[in-house]
């Protein structure tokens, strides 16, 4: 799961941060590791739900913000509860997650569009069922 997220983040970073990949075959692995470290330090930030604020989202100015949500499926309609949200913001819906079951724990990653500062501009969402 970590590899998929890292590969997706690096791909997004390369596109959004304007990095060009020029390397010889024997240098590709070292270059990709370095690119990931540099890009992560400069334009990608990952937050748990309770850490992500309105101020962070409305001032991202080109940064890729990734929100990590951890929750549980409560019923067959896909209604869920977040464990890492606050008392006010703890609802999530898993109806679009394939093969969910009541009681499944799900980790969700939301990637916000770095080209805007809108708080609801999620480019894509990834859900991982933990059984």
At 116, is the secondary structure helix, strand, or coil? coil
Rounded CA gap, 41 and 62, in Å? Answer: 13
Place of tokens 């590791």: 33
Q: What is the pTM of this model?
A: 0.70
- 49 by Cβ neighbours in 10 Å (0-12 / 13-18 / 19+) ranks as buried
Could you tell me the residue ranges of all domains in the chain?
Answer: 2-130
> What is the chain's pLDDT, residue by residue, as a tens digit (131 residues)?
554 554 455 455 444 444 333 334 334 445 444 555 555 556 899 999 999 999 999 999 999 999 999 999 999 999 999 999 888 889 999 999 999 999 999 999 999 999 999 999 999 999 999 98
């Amino acid at each position: 799961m970590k590899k998929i997220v890292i590969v997706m983040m690096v791909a997004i970073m390369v596109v959004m941060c304007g990095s060009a990949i020029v390397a010889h075959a024997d240098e590709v692995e070292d270059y990709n590791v370095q690119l990931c470290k540099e890009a992560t330090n400069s334009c990608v930030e990952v937050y748990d739900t309770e850490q992500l604020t309105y101020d962070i989202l409305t001032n991202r100015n080109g940064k890729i913000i990734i929100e990590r949500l951890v929750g549980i499926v409560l019923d067959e309609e896909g209604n869920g509860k977040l464990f890492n949200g606050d008392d006010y913001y703890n609802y999530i819906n898993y109806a679009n997650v394939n093969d969910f079951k009541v009681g499944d724990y799900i980790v969700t990653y939301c990637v916000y569009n770095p080209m805007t500062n809108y708080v609801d501009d999620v480019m894509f969402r990834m859900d991982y069922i933990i059984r």
